[in-house]
Amino acid sequence: MDRRIPVSSRICAQREDRRRHELHRERVRSAKKQVDNSEPSVMSMEHVRQNLKREQRLEERYTEIDHENKILMKKMSHIMCQDSVPENQRIGGPQSLNRDLRKKELLRITRENHGILKRIQQAQPVYNHVEWEGNYRRTLGYLQNCSEHPLVLRKTHRPSSELIPIEAESPQEDVDSRYDSCRHLPPHISGFYVNPSEKDMSEVPAEDDMVFVLKEGHHLGDTFYLVEMCANGNTLNVSAYDGSTGTTLGLVLKDRHFRAVHRECNGDYSLIAKRLRVDGARLLLDGDAQSPTKSVELRPSATCEELDADSMVVSRREPSITSIKASVELDSFGDPCVRLHGLTPSSRGDVSPPSSPP
């Protein structure tokens, strides 16, 4: 479909288009420019085309460089012309008049610094957090004794349970039972000796949070042991290895025992190692000679009795000076009556529960 503009004469229309195009080209050629692109008049000035000040500075710099090069060449030629053998004559300077005094003063300052450092390292703490904890527990016990109703100050946490080994009928059964119960622990934590020839120790994992603080050899009795100690802040694990028999003895000091021994030895683990002794197949720690501290060891139970389902859920602890026993009884009216034993003389023996509001 032809979409051109319809005209009456195609030849006349083409001629008219050519004429309009020629007129447009003529107007483009004869158009005057609005921007002046000619060379500015200042370019004809000599001081603009050539920077005389810059050339003068460059000339002065080149002159200074030539002068320094001449001086350097003169020094080099003077060195080359002279003899290369150095003179052995030494010009002695004046002797120092206060050399000995300064040396004595320096030695005095060094001795004083060493004394200050030693006193700082051996300084004992003034505050005893273990004593604070004991005073708090004793005060809390007094507060509970003098309270009529159950005391609720904060949420109490049950202490962690402790496993007490039970005496076996024979030594071999004792070793086997203790090994089976502690085979997942390292030899320096299990607390008994292990013979690698009888048990496979490849399944024993190592602890990552323990840091070795001592590794020395000591004579424990008549036998030489390799003593290793590792601690993590709250626990000290001690292991003694006998190379002749291949046995390992272990000992664990936790919390208060570890802090007390650490304080008595002023943080010296070598002194702790000297207090070790071997009792049969156990590694024990002797107390200080000046303090009534006893050897640190686990106390086995007196008897091995069978427990039924009812007695297994009852928590039993040995009575102490601050322990309290409570028994619940029913009076003649059927009301519960709580009887407490172990309170202070000023406390009442019978405490009845508060009556509920009607």
Q: Is residue 76 part of a domain?
A: no
What is the torsional sign of CA 208, 210, 212, 216?
A: negative
pLDDT recorded at residue 231: 87
Phi-psi region of 255 (alpha: psi -120 to 50; beta: other; left: phi over 0): left
Bridge partners (DSSP) listed for residue 328:
338
Let me know whether 252 and 327 are in one domain.
no
What whole-number distance in Å separates Cα of residue 227 and Cα of residue 273?
7
Let me know whether 211 and 278 are in one domain.
yes
Let me know whether 201 and 247 are in one domain.
yes
pLDDT recorded at residue 37: 85
Let me know whether 257 and 341 are in one domain.
no
Q: Which segments within the chain are labelled E, that is strand?
A: 211-220, 223-231, 235-242, 247-254, 276-279, 282-285, 325-330, 336-341, 350-351
What whole-number distance in Å separates Cα of residue 252 and Cα of residue 258?
9
Percent helix, strand and coil across the chain, each rounded to 5? 40, 15, 45
pLDDT recorded at residue 116: 96
DSSP summary character for residue 86: P
What whole-number distance in Å separates Cα of residue 219 and Cα of residue 208?
29
Distances (CA, A) of 4 to 7, 10, 13, 14, 20: 9, 11, 12, 12, 18
Nearest to 324 by CA among 146, 135, 136, 134: 146
Q: Is residue 358 part of a domain?
A: no
Q: Give the number of residues written for the chain.
A: 358
Distances (CA, A) of 207 to 98, 112, 248, 252, 295: 60, 43, 17, 14, 26
Domain that holds residue 191: 184-285
Q: Which of 285, 306, 324 is the last residue of a domain?
A: 285
Let me know whether 266 and 336 are in one domain.
no
Which range, of 7-11, 136-140, 323-327, averages the lowest pLDDT? 323-327
Q: Is residue 45 part of a domain?
A: no
pLDDT recorded at residue 357: 46
Q: Is residue 261 part of a domain?
A: yes
Quick: pLDDT tens for 143-152.
Answer: 888 888 777 7
Q: Which of 267, 285, 303 is the last residue of a domain?
A: 285
Let me know whether 266 and 343 are in one domain.
no
Cβ atoms within 10 Å of 358's Cβ, excluding its own:
3
pLDDT recorded at residue 190: 40
Q: Is residue 275 part of a domain?
A: yes
Cβ atoms within 10 Å of 275's Cβ, excluding its own:
18
Taking the alpha carbons at both ends of the chain, their separation in whole angstroms is: 109
Angle (deg, nearest 10), helices 129-145 and 255-264: 140
Q: Which strands make up the sheet holding 336-341, listed edge to edge? A: 325-330, 336-341, 350-351
Q: Is residue 277 part of a domain?
A: yes
Helix ranges (H only) for 146-193 are: 171-182, 187-190
User: If DSSP codes are grouped into helix, strand and coil, which group holds residue 194?
Assistant: strand
Q: Is residue 332 part of a domain?
A: yes
Which tokens in the block code for residue 17?
């288009």
Whose structure tokens read 């450092």?
Answer: 117
What whole-number distance in Å separates Cα of residue 165 and Cα of residue 318?
16
Let me know whether 240 and 189 are in one domain.
yes
Let me know whether 202 and 268 are in one domain.
yes
Let me know whether 276 and 221 are in one domain.
yes
Q: Which of 245, 266, 285 is the last residue of a domain?
A: 285
Let me know whether 260 and 331 are in one domain.
no
DSSP summary character for residue 122: T
pLDDT band at 335 (very low <50, low <70, confident <90, very high): low
Bridge partners (DSSP) listed for residue 223:
220
Cβ atoms within 10 Å of 33's Cβ, excluding its own:
6
Please give the tally of structural domains in the chain. Answer: 2
pLDDT recorded at residue 148: 80
What whole-number distance in Å separates Cα of residue 235 and Cα of residue 186?
14
Quick: pLDDT tens for 264-299.
Answer: 888 888 888 888 988 888 888 886 433 333 343 334
Quick: pLDDT tens for 208-236.
Answer: 577 888 888 888 888 889 899 988 878 88
What is the mean predicted confidence (pLDDT) over 312-328?
52
pLDDT recorded at residue 220: 86
